[in-house]
């Protein structure tokens, strides 16, 4: 088992990672053009397909997915083992949340890979 | 049975102290808001992954379909149309508020955890203030509230155009 100290260090590091990757994600949607324009499927440089055509932006979304998945589910784990304490409860919480986080990462990665592939074909 | 009832009582008591931050100072407000915002953002995050997952075909699609682009464009446009109403816009403004708060307050906790910007420990004389809430830390807490309000106003303006 990974120690609590290591988990909290990763929690802080992923927090810093979200600070960067999240700023890029929110910045591309809200700051590059009017929101309604960026929320279109394709056409402008930062529309959905515009973002996914750019390999660096697509990779930053994958990084954001990994960071947020760890940060969110570790945060839930901290809350749940703070609300009630027993070895059985802690083991159950850890296992269920690890599986949930992995499912979210796998599903989200699939979405990103397919969207990236589609974007490469969109003129 | 007794064990289970005891567990439930512990849970209710924990939630009560968790969700009612009155009378314990600024740090308790920071604690409660950080946890509530974290849970809300997690719910949004999972919903966002599910919602974007449907744009490329949902849980059953793991390869690139021949009509992938037309399919994705159609579902994306329908999804945006479905989500473009005041209810979801207001929801996103609240998410913006919580994300902004969680970000700056998270930086404050990061600094506090590594001992930066904290005062020196003193004897807890009556009326003393905890050194973990030094002027820098207090300023950062209020900065997180200010940034959260700014994000709320900015998001509302982006969707409803009230400031234009």
8 Å CB contact of B18 and A108? no
In this prediction, residue B17 has a pLDDT band, given cuts at 50, 70 and 90, of: confident
**Are B78 and B51 contacting, i.e. CB atoms less than 8 angstroms apart?**
no
Per-residue pLDDT averaged across A11-36, rounded?
Answer: 94
Domain locations along chain A = 4-121
The domain defined by B26-160 folds into: 3 helical TM bundles of succinate and fumarate reductases (1.20.1300)
Per-residue pLDDT averaged across B103-116, rounded?
Answer: 93
Structure tokens at B27: 């740090």
pLDDT (tens digit per residue) in A30-64: 899 888 889 999 988 999 999 999 999 999 999 99
Residue B83, pLDDT above cutoff 70? yes
Chain A contacts in chain B segment 22-81 (CB below 8 A): 35, 38-39, 41-42, 45-46, 49-50, 52-53, 55-57, 59, 61-62, 64, 68-69, 72-73, 76-77, 80
B contact test, residue of A25, A51, A65, A110 with most B CBs within 10 A:
A110
**Are B59 and B79 contacting, i.e. CB atoms less than 8 angstroms apart?**
no
The torsion defined by the Cα of B55, B60, B61 and B67, in degrees rounded to 10, comes to: -70
Closest alpha carbon to B40 in B111, B83, B100 = B100
Predicted pLDDT of residue B21: 84
Share of chain B above pLDDT 90, in %: 59
Domain locations along chain B = 26-160
**Residue whose entry in the numeric block shows the structure tokens 């820098």:** B136
pTM confidence score: 0.91
The ipTM estimated for the assembled molecules is 0.94
**Which one of A69, A110, A122 has the shortest CB-CB distance to B62?**
A110
8 Å CB contact of B49 and A30? no
Q: Which CATH number does A4-121 carry?
A: 1.20.1300
B8 vs A: CB within 8 A? no
Residue B15, pLDDT above cutoff 90? no
Using CA atoms, how far apart are residues A101 and A2, in angstroms rounded to an integer?
Answer: 16
Average pLDDT score over chain B: 89
In this prediction, residue B4 has a pLDDT band, given cuts at 50, 70 and 90, of: low
Using CA atoms, how far apart are residues A118 and B64, in angstroms rounded to an integer?
Answer: 8
Predicted pLDDT of residue B130: 73
């Amino acid at each position: 088992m990974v120690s609590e100290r290591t988990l909290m260090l990763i929690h802080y590091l992923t927090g810093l990672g979200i600070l960067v990757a999240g700023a890029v994600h929110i910045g591309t949607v809200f700051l590059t053009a009017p929101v309604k324009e960026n929320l279109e499927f394709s056409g402008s440089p930062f529309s959905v397909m515009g973002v996914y055509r750019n390999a660096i932006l697509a990779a930053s979304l994958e990084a954001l997915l990994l960071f947020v998945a760890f940060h969110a589910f570790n945060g839930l784990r901290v809350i749940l083992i703070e609300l009630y304490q027993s070895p059985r409860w802690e083991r159950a919480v850890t296992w269920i949340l690890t599986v949930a986080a992995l499912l979210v990462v796998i599903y989200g990665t699939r979405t990103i890979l397919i969207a990236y592939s589609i974007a490469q074909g969109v003129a | 049975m007794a064990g289970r009832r005891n567990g439930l009582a512990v849970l209710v008591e924990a939630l009560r102290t968790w969700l009612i931050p009155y009378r314990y100072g600024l740090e308790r407000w920071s604690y409660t808001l950080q946890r509530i915002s974290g849970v809300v953002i997690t719910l949004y995050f999972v919903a966002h992954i599910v919602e974007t997952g449907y744009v490329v075909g949902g849980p059953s699609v793991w390869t690139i379909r021949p009509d992938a682009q037309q399919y994705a464009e159609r579902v994306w446009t329908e999804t945006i149309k479905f989500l473009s109403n005041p209810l979801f816009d207001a929801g996103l403004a609240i998410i913006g508020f919580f994300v902004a708060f969680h970000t700056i307050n998270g930086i404050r906790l990061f600094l506090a955890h590594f001992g930066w910007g904290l005062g020196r420990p003193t004897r807890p004389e009556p009326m003393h203030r905890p050194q973990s809430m030094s002027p820098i830390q207090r300023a950062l807490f209020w900065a997180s509230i200010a940034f959260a309000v700014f994000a709320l106003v900015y998001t509302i303006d982006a969707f409803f155009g009230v400031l234009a």
